[in-house]
Structure 1
Amino acid sequence: MSQNPSPLRVLHVCSEVFPLLKTGGLADVTAALPPELEKQGCEVRMLVPGFPAFVNGIEDQHLVTELPSRFGARKIRLMYGKMPKTGVPVYYVDAPDLYDRPGNPYNDSDGQPYRDNHLRFALLGWCAARLAEGFDYFWKPDIVHGHDWHAGLAFAYIKALEWHTGKRMVGTVFTVHNMAYQGNFPAYMFSELDLPFSMFNADGIEFYGQVSFLKSGFYYADKVTTVSPTYAREIRDGEQSCGLGGVVQQRQADLVGILNGVDTATWNPRTDKRIEANYHVRSMTGKKKCRLALQKEMGLVEQNDKPVFCVVSRFAAQKGLHLVVDGINAIVGNGGQVVVMGNGERWLEDAFRHFEQTFPGQVAVRIGYDEDRAHRVFAGSDVVMVPSRYEPCGLVQMYGSLYGTLPLVHRVGGLADTVVDCSLENLAENRATGFCFEHFDYPSFESAVHRAFALFDKQTDWKKVQKRGMKLSFGWENSAERYAQLYRLIRVVA
């Protein structure tokens, strides 16, 4: 814990936070990191858009100030309250014209991005800059830490203020959770953002003739972080750079890979109230009960001599689930079972449903995401498949390890940083925690599946690997300490 008598005041800017709003792993990160930073001596607050889930869920709300109409919002209020359970202080931007919409916070009922998303998230960034400027008389941040493209414009607004005043105002950190989601908009929309025209060029937020919110964060933040060390290396060039390799290389000295953690209070089989029976590394009886309960819940044949493979994922091209589709015949043919939960691309939903109908009692599919069921799936399965084409960090493989469910992963990004392959050498050295495949193709994936079956047949070895994974430290303590150290490096001293 920091011994600094003056605590670092840190404002996290993001678009979703569990349990109030979650569409992906970002919400888990923004929920778990701030409480851990408080243990490091930081004084943390959050800034989020006034989506209905936040407006209805934040506790002890009161008005900070009313703002003039801006970015197409006729009425804007900056509100303040507390997150449920953790009590982390949070501001939200109450702008009904921009945020009070049912369903997905980013897309309309047809699944298309809202046409005014550039204004919706410009307002979020603009409010972050106002807070950095001292808009709340009672609290001014030392650090503004933005997450993903939704917060990217905050750094342009802060930089514009610094240019105007001639002095550095606040330390800034931008975390890229996924380079593929960039927040790119047509060039003509730049005029609606109230930024200096000089920012719309290659040395700014222009990206191949478009406005890029992600590039804004990359270019104007003091430090840029990614969510795993391997991903920080991968985004420098090639496919993983998503066209931004030049600016990544330009900011290389300020780029840091800090592995995400998981909330080990929520994801802990010893205390998890969502699962059939609790268990821990020295007593695994409860996991057998969880497997049986999962098989009953999902309508699978009750068996224990072959592994249960699971998928808990968005159905997106990034996730490599076509490899799972191609591999289900082999898994079932070897006596295994498959549990799939998630939603997304229609062809994947249809493909998984087809296998459920083709192999009743061996394949079970639940379209949609259910947090409680996710816990039961991890607890009751033997192998969790994460065959992503790329994966900045990934949390699913960590949840699997903690629940004694061996990850089967493509060796990329955070998957490479968190899973050690069950090679003969790694088994002999008691380092193995799962199954990794190198090449993003079906033969490589299938080979890993066959190795999972082979190890499962050797239960003594299987249990060693299982327990090794359950003992891994995936909590936020180390990551939070690294973020706190980074904040201290860039803190603006008055």
Structure 2
Amino acid sequence: MAETAAPPQPEPEPIPESPPEPPVVHHAPRPSLFIVQITPEMAPIAKIGGLADVVFGLSRELAIRGNHVEIILPKYDNLRYDQIFDLQPVYNDLWVPWYDGAIHCTVYFGFVHDRKCFFIEPHSHDNFFNRGSIYGFPDDVFRYAFFSRAAIEFLWQSGKHPDIIHCHDWQTALVPVFLYEFYQALGMTHPRVCMTIHNFKHQGVTGAELLRATGLHQPERFFDWVRMGDNHHKNAINLLKGGIVYSNFVTTVSPRYAFETKDQGQGFGLESTLHTHHMKYGGVVNGIDYDVWNPEVDRYIPVNYGLGNLDDKYENKRALRQRLMLADNDKPIVAFIGRLDPQKGLDLVRHAIFATLERGAQFVLLGSSPDQGINNDFWGLKHMLNDSPDCHLEIGFDEDLSHLIYAGADIMLVPSQFEPCGLTQLIALRYGTVPVVRTVGGLADTVFDKDHSDRPLHQRNGYRFDNYDVPGLESALIRAIDCYYQYPDHFRELMKNAMNADYSWNHPGQDYLNIYDFIRDR
């Protein structure tokens, strides 16, 4: 196939010289924006983690506010096709530069719960997205580098010139690099790029071969420390770093996590890059979709409830006990829902199971791990506790059951080592299930301790602990259980405070629109 010539390579746009705060809320009518989200995941059709929920929820909020929103995803073979309406090919002849030639792609369009989605299907021996799962392959960096090039090639070839391109995580971090190195010279001068980093642990660190594949020749240019050269490996490039350098604005998923990644050593080597680009870096707390996570309308729970009929929550508690064959008594239920990943504080979860039972409460766990050793460990715990009428460990994931646990539990445990935002505590708050969390990341931005917060009493909604150790965990968990038994009126006020808080996409949606307006005006 013919070699694709590389166009002239302009410098990336200058970094803003003044801080992005405000986002000042626009009270006057504002023009509608054309926003394209480029993402490796979106709920419910391609979901591994919270990133998928963010794209799903934010897209709807932006559209509700009068903006035109489109989403570009890979066409995985394991998409939930039953959730895609009217899927059909709309662009049959997309040729994407790759190595010394190009790969032919077909682009499909379909609606996912009213969201306008494009799916890119490459026809290649590399078989990038027909592998039965989304991640976990040795060539993941190349797969998503190709997807990033294909997504922006599609925008250019189809004549789309969005106001904002919103990228997510390392998998799409090359999009702003391609835009400013290639496509601006071809006439795509209008779009501005916002990139959201959901977890700094995964960065897409790779070698020079990727530059050959993507047409980013001139390794001396891209290995330069000021562009994509990895901060700790001289002969490596870092895709996430490239996204930070070339994007017009970079967000992460809570203000506290933004601080921790830049100033407290949680940037996994990118701290100095974040300091260099601090004028275009900030945190926006995720929202949750109240159409999905809302006890007033939740179709997965037997009895709907809200602040006006809070006692009906206990009908769901009885249903949860019946489903899991737990004793029906006056004890509180402590729950853990999440991936069985060391990040989530698994050693503290193990301890919490026994501490909860010793304190006269019940414990429910729902989760699984891709690490078979971790799964086996929790299966061993399950067998050990199998005869207990007050404990049930469900090793796996069940969407229906997760809704019932949120509705039926009294206390939700989130003891993470680090937590960029966390959706578990946000959902628990909506269901009046009191969270017990570690004071990190988005947990610290959304949960305020009943006894030790400087917030007004009506804003206190849970329990927190600072140190990642057993005494820290017990300091919060035991206070929560004791409050349930000894001060039921106080516990009920915590439940009401939790349900009164607004963690929908309403506030984050406005925050993102303010960021978009800021970078469009630069």
Trace 1:258-407 onto structure 2 (pairs within 5 A): 258-303=284-329, 305-344=330-369, 345-359=371-385, 360=387, 361-407=389-435
Report the Cα offset of residue 127 of structure 1. Answer: 2.5
Moved more, 242-251 or 286-295: 286-295
Report the Cα offset of residue 186 of structure 1. Answer: 3.0
> Does 1:201 find its partner at 2:227?
no
3-state SS in 1 of match to 2:263: coil
> What residue is the counterpart of 2:495 in the other structure?
466
> What residue is the counterpart of 2:48 in the other structure?
23
3-state SS in 1 of match to 2:93: strand
The question of whether the paired residues in 1 share the 8 Å contact of 2:448 and 2:455 is answered with no
Moved more, 234-243 or 376-385: 234-243
Query: C-alpha separation between the residues in 2 aligned to 1:258 and 1:444?
Result: 27
Report the Cα offset of residue 166 of structure 1. Answer: 8.8
> Does 1:106 find its partner at 2:155?
no
> Does 1:476 find its partner at 2:494?
no
The verdict on how the C-alpha distance between 1:106 and 1:404 changes in structure 2, with shifts beyond 3 A counting, is same
> What residue is the counterpart of 1:220 in the other structure?
246
> What residue is the counterpart of 1:9 in the other structure?
34
Trace 1:146-185 onto structure 2 (pairs within 5 A): 146-161=167-182, 164=185, 168-185=189-206
Cα deviation, 1:398-428, whole Å, max 9, x if unaligned, reads 1001111111101011000000012166698
> Does 1:93 find its partner at 2:115?
no
Report the Cα offset of residue 2 of structure 1. Answer: 8.0
Equivalent of residue 189 in structure 1, options 210, 216, 226? 210
The verdict on how the C-alpha distance between 1:247 and 1:136 changes in structure 2, with shifts beyond 3 A counting, is same
- Structure 2: which 5+ runs fail to align? 1-25
The verdict on how the C-alpha distance between 1:41 and 1:302 changes in structure 2, with shifts beyond 3 A counting, is same
3-state SS in 1 of match to 2:196: strand
Cα deviation, 1:9-51, whole Å, max 9, x if unaligned, reads 1110101111111111111111111111012232110110111
What residue identity is the alignment partner of 1:391? E
Moved more, 62-71 or 212-221: 62-71
The question of whether the paired residues in 1 share the 8 Å contact of 2:162 and 2:190 is answered with no
The question of whether the paired residues in 2 share the 8 Å contact of 1:16 and 1:27 is answered with yes
- Structure 1: which 5+ runs fail to align? 108-113
Moved more, 92-101 or 216-225: 92-101
The question of whether the paired residues in 1 share the 8 Å contact of 2:45 and 2:80 is answered with no
Report the Cα offset of residue 226 of structure 1. Answer: 0.7
What residue identity is the alignment partner of 1:76? C
The question of whether the paired residues in 2 share the 8 Å contact of 1:437 and 1:445 is answered with yes
Root-mean-square deviation (Å): 2.2
What residue identity is the alignment partner of 2:135? Y
Query: C-alpha separation between the residues in 1 aligned to 2:439 and 2:452?
Result: 17
> What residue is the counterpart of 1:416 in the other structure?
444
User: TM-score, normalised on structure 1?
Assistant: 0.92
3-state SS in 2 of match to 1:172: strand
The question of whether the paired residues in 2 share the 8 Å contact of 1:308 and 1:383 is answered with yes
3-state SS in 2 of match to 1:400: helix
3-state SS in 2 of match to 1:365: strand
> Does 1:229 find its partner at 2:252?
no
3-state SS in 2 of match to 1:91: strand
What residue identity is the alignment partner of 2:282? V
Percent identity of equivalent pairs: 29
What residue identity is the alignment partner of 2:436? L
> What residue is the counterpart of 1:124 in the other structure?
147
Report the Cα offset of residue 291 of structure 1. Answer: 0.8
Moved more, 244-253 or 200-209: 200-209
Query: C-alpha separation between the residues in 2 aligned to 1:417 and 1:468?
Result: 15
3-state SS in 1 of match to 2:60: helix
Query: How many residues of Structure 1 are paired with residues of Structure 2 in the alignment?
Result: 482
Query: C-alpha separation between the residues in 2 aligned to 1:348 and 1:322?
Result: 11
What residue identity is the alignment partner of 1:117? D
The verdict on how the C-alpha distance between 1:130 and 1:100 changes in structure 2, with shifts beyond 3 A counting, is closer
Report the Cα offset of residue 64 of structure 1. Answer: 1.8
The verdict on how the C-alpha distance between 1:70 and 1:362 changes in structure 2, with shifts beyond 3 A counting, is farther
Query: C-alpha separation between the residues in 2 aligned to 1:90 and 1:183?
Result: 25
The verdict on how the C-alpha distance between 1:470 and 1:477 changes in structure 2, with shifts beyond 3 A counting, is same
3-state SS in 2 of match to 1:300: coil
Equivalent of residue 157 in structure 2, options 107, 123, 135? 135
Cα deviation, 1:126-156, whole Å, max 9, x if unaligned, reads 1232245x3213x421111001111111111
Query: C-alpha separation between the residues in 2 aligned to 1:3 and 1:59?
Result: 36
The question of whether the paired residues in 1 share the 8 Å contact of 2:97 and 2:214 is answered with no
> What residue is the counterpart of 1:111 in the other structure?
none
The question of whether the paired residues in 2 share the 8 Å contact of 1:124 and 1:154 is answered with no
The question of whether the paired residues in 1 share the 8 Å contact of 2:378 and 2:395 is answered with no
The question of whether the paired residues in 2 share the 8 Å contact of 1:306 and 1:453 is answered with no
Report the Cα offset of residue 449 of structure 1. Answer: 1.2
Cα deviation, 1:45-85, whole Å, max 9, x if unaligned, reads 011011124483532223224123654885411222222x2
The question of whether the paired residues in 1 share the 8 Å contact of 2:411 and 2:433 is answered with yes
Query: C-alpha separation between the residues in 2 aligned to 1:489 and 1:169?
Result: 14
Cα deviation, 1:374-398, whole Å, max 9, x if unaligned, reads 1011111111111111111001001
Report the Cα offset of residue 168 of structure 1. Answer: 3.8
Cα deviation, 1:95-125, whole Å, max 9, x if unaligned, reads 2543443432012xxxxxx122222111221
> Does 1:486 find its partner at 2:515?
yes
What residue identity is the alignment partner of 1:41? G
Query: C-alpha separation between the residues in 1 aligned to 2:84 and 2:143?
Result: 20
Query: C-alpha separation between the residues in 1 aligned to 2:251 and 2:33?
Result: 19
3-state SS in 1 of match to 2:109: strand
Trace 1:56-71 onto structure 2 (pairs within 5 A): 56=81, 57-60=83-86, 61-68=88-95, 70-71=97-98
3-state SS in 2 of match to 1:235: helix
> What residue is the counterpart of 2:13 in the other structure?
none
Query: C-alpha separation between the residues in 1 aligned to 2:302 and 2:480?
Result: 25
The verdict on how the C-alpha distance between 1:311 and 1:130 changes in structure 2, with shifts beyond 3 A counting, is same
3-state SS in 2 of match to 1:10: strand
Report the Cα offset of residue 310 of structure 1. Answer: 0.9
Query: C-alpha separation between the residues in 2 aligned to 1:468 and 1:37?
Result: 27
Equivalent of residue 69 in structure 2, options 27, 35, 44? 44
